[in-house]
Structure formats: structure tokens, C-alpha cells
Structure 1
């Protein structure tokens, strides 16, 4: 895991001054590292008996879609407001540098679905909590949460109650 951690680039002042952006593209472009990530997330997801992977826009899509394909389960995108063409559930949430709205198609999940929420990075956990709310809107169950990176400075915000949580790298 240390070699993957070393691949993550820190980009200062992106997308706004004061933000330290964690660039995971070097990890994604390394087939061995990317394969390792997906296999590790897949082991966790199998233990949770997931039937769907939900990932927020946009970097979560890269991990979530690959994982859903690998597991042969449905992939559900959680998108920014106005990006989905059908009827949606909407949740407004706080980011570490503002607010946003996430949407999910209303017919994306059914009550029997067991959903793994996956994102590349968890900071204040606002995005993950919004995804949890979207899953709850569909009356489905959040079976687990996974992330590549969590920011230790926001550890107090990363409380998901009794939901199983896998984080691979803490920075």
C-alpha cells in the first residue's frame, strides 16, 4: 500500500486556494496498482454481499464502475444536479469548500439492494453522507462504504455508525 500512497500526487491550491488536491491518476494509469485496488475493494464488497455499487461524480466513477464490472453488479452514478435525464432523488450536502447537490435516478435501486458506496477520497464525509441519503430515499440498504484515501484532519467527521467501512490510505 505504501507504493500506491507514493503514487498519489499533491496539487496545492486546486480547485481553490488552500485546497490540497490528491491526484490519483498515477495510480489509475498503473495497471498493477489499479488491479490491486479493485481486487482489494472486491474482497470487501463480497463480504458485504453487495448487489450494487454507488459512486459519486466524478472520481468515484473510476473506481465504482471498474468494481461493479469486476463483481458483475449494477453501477449507480450519483451525479451533480441537472446531469441525469430521468426522475431523480436529490440531496444537498456540504463540502469542505462549499455546498453541492447530488442526484440519483429514482429507479436505480430497489429495496432489496445492498449497496456499497465508494469514492476516491473522504474528507468531511459530506459526499458519503449524501450518498447514504440517496440510498435511503430508494429504501435500499447501505451495506458498506469504501474509499482509497481519507484525510486524517477530518477523521472526526468520518463516522458512518455501524456501516462497514474500508479505507486503504490515510493521509
Structure 2
């Protein structure tokens, strides 16, 4: 797992948090994401890979990239491959078509969230506790729709390795069985 401290929706410049949301979806939002395609389906180095952005905070938010290695793949080998994918994202690997797919997935998740009263209550409650407004929650899909590939590439450039923390979970052999 690699983690960065990033601006939250509360502290980000206009459009920055939305770009981080789209970046997290494009990088790690399921089996069609860049990390999954490269590390799980393509190179077969990982059994899982993803990313998420937590912008729901009063002060700083966080951006996380994670991957779990296949048997026989070292954490260091997988980390090097993750770094390669992240570098490609800063060089424009997430193009306009990739951004559009990520925005559509975010839009779909927003629509599906409306099926659950508990989820809606959590979304609105979190926003209001953090001094957000109902209007901000309601206009989030419109703001996401305005994110372009240049904004996502700029957000990816904020994922500098020297400003991150990397954690490795190693299981002792006697636990693995």
C-alpha cells in the first residue's frame, strides 16, 4: 500500500478534488482500471490492485494505491511495477477515453447510491458535518463531468514517491500454512 496526504474537498483548489476522484477511479476502480489491467490481467503480478481517494476530511485527505502479489511475486517486484504504472499515469496514460470511462463509472455509482437510504444519509451527513452543503452533494456529478484528461494527469503528477508512505504486509510462513 502506498499512501499520500492530499487535499480534501474542503482544502483543495477548485476542481482538484474532483480530478483526484476521477484519477482514483481510472487507476484503481475495478477490473477495467489501469492498475488492474496492467498488474492483474496483463503482467499477472498481482491478484488484486486498486486505488481510492478519501477527500472527506476537514483538513487533509488521502490517496491510496494498493496491490496484493500473486504467489511467488515479491513485494519489491510488485512495488516496482506499481511505480511504473504510476509513472505512466503522469505521462498521459490516462487519456480522454480512460477519463470518460472513469467518469461514467463514478456517475453510475452515484445513481446506485440513491437506492440506499443509509448510503444517502451517510453522504449527506458527511458533507454537512464537514461544513459542506446539500447543493455541493447534488452538483458533485456535474463537477465530475467537467474533469478532463489534463486535470487527471496533473493530479497524477501530485503522487510523488518522495511524498508517500509505503507499507508492506508480510505474513509469517507459519500463518500462511
Scaled by the length of structure 1, the TM-score of the pair is: 0.27
Larger radius of gyration: 2
Higher relative contact order (CA 8 A, sep 6+): 2
Relative to its length, the structure with more strand (as a share) is 1
